[in-house]
Amino acid sequence: MAKKFNTSVTCDPKKHYMVDTTAKMKVFESLIDEGNYFTITRARQFGKSTTLNWIYDNLSDRYLVIPTSFEIFSDNDWVNVSTFCRYFCTKIIKASRKLKNEILRQYWESVKQLEDIDFDILSEKITDFCEESDKKIVLLIDEVDKASNNEVFIKFLGMLRSMYLDRTATGDDNSTFWSVVLAGVYDVKNLKLKIRPEEQHQFNSPWNVAADYDLDMTFNPQEISTMLADYENDYHLGFDIKEISEEIYKYTSGYPVLVSQVCKVIDENLGKIWTKENVLKAVKYIADDDKFVLLDDISKNLQRHSDLHDLLYDITINGTQYMYSPVDPVMKLAIMFSYIKKSDNSGVDIHNLIFEDAIHTYFINEYRRNNSKERQQISYDYIQNGDLNMEMVIGRFKEIMADRYKDRDQQFLEYHGRLLFLCFIKPIINGTGFCYFEPQTKNGGRMDLIVNYNQKEYIVELKIWRGSKYETDGKTQLANYLKQRNLSEGYLITFSFLKNKVVQEQPEWIEHDGKRIFEAVI
């Protein structure tokens, strides 16, 4: 059976094209070899379950690896300690069938039948089994955040923690599980916070024995190329693996499921034609897919968390610069969902361009819902001979701003100016084009919007008027940026909010530092 690009279930190297993550997996192997307890806390579809599967497949020759997953199927599953202990036994019994380990099954069947089982008895039974096992035991627990609101589960983690500390104190390696690995979206260190909000319990984690490690689980272009090389060996299409890997990384920043999804769309929906243009088409396909769970999650989380909503609006629309801080609770939430990442200068960027596009779309639609009378009529005159007429787009945008928002106050326009331009241009390029803000130019004064349409690139700098010197600096910055991207023309929109300032009546082309710039002052 031919391999496929997988985006839904745990990846299997025999069935799916996969990035070679051997070097990353060795980090987890070392942690287990050292007998550590640790967590794999990453956003949805970030490779957590695939990592647990790798541990099972590659370490089972040396350890008894028991894979489990902790979903609560009904409110009665964990009513009390006794029901939880039986649930835990059931999970190990289920794993024993996968392992084809009859001894494991029989032992935990007998534990499950005990009448008054509690955590004291369960801990004794764990010790007895670990002492009798001819291999050290590694317990894997996936989906731990599904149990995060259950106080019995928190006590279970506390029991494992106590057994680990006793093992450390006595030096008896066989007194409990050699290693326990918890995987989920939410950081297990916050579980106590979720069920006991009182101040004295707020930061009392039941899992502070977890070992720390530093590992980037995103895929860099070289890692992406290992998956594409495997694919090319099967199909012999002759495409430029390095170029396509870098283009996929450009839009996904290596977010695992996004990488696979782009590849899947090209393979299954775009005729296996691996070009930069088709990478963009695949990105648009994903952005318009209302069934893609990650993008649906963005919408839900922005509605659910008002502070997160405001933070992402500040970053994406206002260009506000924040210092990266996992201590800040709102930023920590955004990091946990992988909506943001640390930039090169220790600031904050949206994690990838696909997420940025989805967040922009959310804010655009939110604004339109609240201002339904301001919806525009799209004219196909903006597209001429298949190309985007950016000069006409900006000219018309200036006319609309001058007419529709002439009575708005300064604070409104300064806060919404960039959003209004996104509201205007996105429907024009929708279906064919893609736009995003260049992270390196995001600040309170300027943001460079990059618009890709029909294989052409348009750079639009959006500035807020800060005085004549800053206006000149903006032209110089734009000219330098155009040089970096080998473009001869660019566009400059300056939002001016000084009521007594005489502004340019009509947009015009100017020459600056060897580049043609179409300037509009609004």
Per residue in 159-180, pLDDT (tens digit) is 999 999 999 999 999 999 999 9
pLDDT, mean over the chain: 87
Q: Are residues 31 and 154 in the same domain?
A: yes
Is the per-residue pLDDT at 503 higher than 60? no
Q: Which residues pair with 493 in a beta bridge?
A: 462, 520
Q: Is residue 206 part of a domain?
A: no
- Per cent of the chain over pLDDT 90 is 63
* Domain assignment present for 15: no
pLDDT, residue 166, reads: 95
Residue 209 lies in a domain: no
Residue 9 has a pLDDT of 74
For residue 28, being part of any structural domain is answered with yes
Domain boundary among 354, 375, 396: 375
Shared-domain flag, residues 101 and 178: yes
Same domain, 283 and 294: no
The parent domain of residue 272 ranges over 221-289
In a domain, 12, yes or no: no
pLDDT at 410: 59
**Does 425 fall in a domain?**
yes
pLDDT at 291 over 90: no
pLDDT higher than threshold 90 for residue 441: no
- Whether residues 266 and 335 fall in one domain: no
Rounded distance, CA 140 to CA 31, Å? 13
pLDDT digits (tens, 9 = 90+) for 201-258: 444 567 888 898 989 999 999 999 999 999 999 999 999 999 999 999 999 999 999 9
Alpha carbons 229 and 236: distance in angstroms, whole number: 10
Model pTM greater than 0.75?
yes
Residue range 466-495, pLDDT digits in tens: 666 656 777 888 999 999 999 999 999 988
What's the mean pLDDT in 389-399? 93
Please indicate, yes or no, whether residues 475 and 369 belong to a single structural domain of this protein.
Answer: no
What is the tally of structural domains in the chain? 4
Q: Which residues contact 507 (CB under 8 A, 6 or more apart)?
A: 391, 394, 395, 398, 518, 519, 520
- Spell out a b/e string for 62-86, using b for 16 or more CB atoms within 10 Å of the CB, else e: ebbbbbbbbebeeeebbeebbebbb
User: Does one domain contain both 340 and 244?
Assistant: no
Q: Residue 309's CB: how many other CB atoms inside 10 A? A: 18
Closest-CA residue to 23 (of 54, 48, 63): 54
Are residues 175 and 64 part of one domain? yes
Domain membership of residue 5 (yes or no) is no
User: Which among 375, 398, 420 is the end of a domain?
Assistant: 375
Distance from C-alpha of 478 to C-alpha of 521, rounded to nearest angstrom: 15
Same domain, 233 and 306: no
Each residue's pLDDT tens digit, 294-348:
999 999 999 999 999 999 999 999 888 899 998 899 999 999 899 999 988 888 9
